[in-house]
């Protein structure tokens, strides 16, 4: 019986292991989620910042032909940040989805083991009280089922 209870506690602690294991990946996922959005809006901001300056100098040079140099200068920077915007946007976009599915993989992996050990935990305690009942009311049945359990 003592060994049987140790087994029950084993399943019980195993359940808690997967419980915290899941939450570790849960917060790990959210860390990358906000990390991705931070860089996304960071480059989004710079993209529109240079987008604004691009049209500003376009208008300025259109009315003043002596400043074409500045127009092309900001034209270059506009596309430079345009390129970085899309590069970093898609980079963190896929980076985010990688951790997104990575998280959901562990999410379902965790729930599978969670219910598995949850089931065995209550299974053990069910049999524990079952044996206790027979032990209390009939010693013969207690030893019979105790023997049957270990040799099943």
Segment 118-133 mean pLDDT: 62
59 pLDDT above the threshold of 50: yes
| Percent of the chain with pLDDT strictly greater than 90 | 0
The pLDDT tens digits for 94-123 are 555 665 566 566 666 666 666 666 666 666
- pLDDT at residue 61, rounded to an integer: 60
Q: What angle do CA 19, 21, 24 make, to 5 degrees?
A: 115
145 pLDDT above the threshold of 60: no
Prediction pTM value: 0.29
- Angstrom distance (rounded) from CA 52 to CA 41: 16
**Alpha helices, DSSP H only, in the chain?**
2-62, 68-137, 139-150
Q: Where are the domains of the chain?
A: 2-150
152 pLDDT above the threshold of 50: no
Q: What angle do CA 116, 19, 9 make, to 5 degrees?
A: 60
* pLDDT band at 1; cut points 50, 70, 90: very low
- pLDDT at residue 21, rounded to an integer: 61
- pLDDT at residue 151, rounded to an integer: 47
The pLDDT tens digits for 36-54 are 666 666 656 666 666 666 6
């Amino acid at each position: 019986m003592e060994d049987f209870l140790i087994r029950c506690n084993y399943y019980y602690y195993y359940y808690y292991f997967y419980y915290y294991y899941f939450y570790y990946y849960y917060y790990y996922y959210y860390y990358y989620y906000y990390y991705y959005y931070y860089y996304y809006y960071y480059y989004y901001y710079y993209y529109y910042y240079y987008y604004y300056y691009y049209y500003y100098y376009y208008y300025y040079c259109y009315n003043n032909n002596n400043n074409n140099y500045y127009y092309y200068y900001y034209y270059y920077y506009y596309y430079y940040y345009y390129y970085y915007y899309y590069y970093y946007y898609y980079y963190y976009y896929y980076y985010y989805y990688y951790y997104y599915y990575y998280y959901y993989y562990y999410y379902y992996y965790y729930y599978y083991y969670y219910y598995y050990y949850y089931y065995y935990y209550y299974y053990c305690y069910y049999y524990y009280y079952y044996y206790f009942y027979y032990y209390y009311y009939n010693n013969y049945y207690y030893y019979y089922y105790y023997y049957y359990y270990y040799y099943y």
